[in-house]
């Protein structure tokens, strides 16, 4: 097995254990709506990452040197994350009928897909990570163009596989989930998203003031 493939898997494993707003949202989505819907959310995350890989790989030199781009990305992404957080928090405060811990599967798969695509896509740290990684890989003399894409493919496949595994593992918790606990989970996810959003806005404004 080629070294770039193994290195890509290793980086994918590292990313898979990192906890961020998308992690909480994926777990909450799986518990609330079931494994199948959560796999579509994971697919949305994968497509978002793939688009960022293409953007970062072909434009890493220009993007990495553009401070204004980083500032605008952080401000816009932070505000959108805060909106997602407020919506999730408000939903957590709404009364839900007693379902006896049974998850609801009424949400469409398309909605789950776009939720994953949107949450991952508007997080500027995701794009900044891919830009940094692309710059690192482009600077490696021992990697050919084929090796770089082999690395990216292994990394993306590993992250997607573990996202699906997380969603599957979360479904086992659904039997313990009551409507009241689900409300608290929604509020927690909302708070996490709002905190991340505020942090991004603060960093973006700090960059502007420099």
Interval 2-21 mean pLDDT = 84
User: What DSSP line would sit under 7-51, residue for residue?
Assistant: HHHHHHHHHHT---HHHHHHHHHHHHH-HHHHHHHHHHHHHHHHH
User: What DSSP line would sit under 45-69, residue for residue?
Assistant: HHHHHHHHHHHHHHHHHHHHT-HHH
Looking at residue 105, the DSSP 8-state letter turns out to be -
- Sorting pLDDT into bands at 50, 70 and 90, what band is 82? confident
What pTM was computed for the model? 0.70
- Sorting pLDDT into bands at 50, 70 and 90, what band is 162? very high
| CA-angle at 41, arms to 100 and 72, nearest 5° | 125
Domain that holds residue 156: 3-209
pLDDT at 100 (0 to 100): 41
pLDDT at 98 (0 to 100): 40
- Rounded to an integer, what distance in angstroms lies between the CA atom of residue 45 and that of residue 47? 6
Q: How many domains does the chain have?
A: 1
């Amino acid at each position: 097995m080629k070294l770039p493939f193994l290195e890509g898997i290793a980086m994918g494993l590292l990313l898979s254990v990192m906890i961020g707003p998308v992690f909480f949202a994926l777990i909450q989505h799986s518990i609330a709506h079931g494994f199948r819907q959560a796999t579509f959310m994971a697919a949305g995350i994968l497509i978002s990452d793939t688009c960022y890989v293409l953007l970062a790989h072909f434009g890493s030199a220009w993007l990495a040197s553009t401070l204004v781009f980083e500032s605008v990305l952080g401000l816009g992404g932070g505000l959108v994350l805060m909106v997602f957080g407020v919506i999730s928090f408000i939903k957590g405060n709404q009364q839900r009928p007693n379902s006896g811990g049974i998850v609801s599967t009424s949400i469409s798969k398309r909605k789950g897909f776009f939720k994953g695509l949107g949450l991952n896509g508007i997080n500027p740290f995701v794009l900044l990570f891919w830009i940094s990684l692309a710059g690192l890989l482009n600077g490696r003399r021992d990697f050919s163009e084929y090796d770089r894409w082999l690395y990216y493919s292994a990394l993306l496949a590993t992250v997607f596989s573990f996202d699906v595994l997380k969603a599957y593992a979360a479904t086992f918790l659904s039997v313990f989930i009551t409507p009241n606990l689900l409300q608290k989970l929604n509020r927690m996810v909302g708070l996490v998203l709002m905190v991340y959003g505020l942090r991004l806005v603060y960093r973006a404004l700090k960059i502007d003031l420099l």
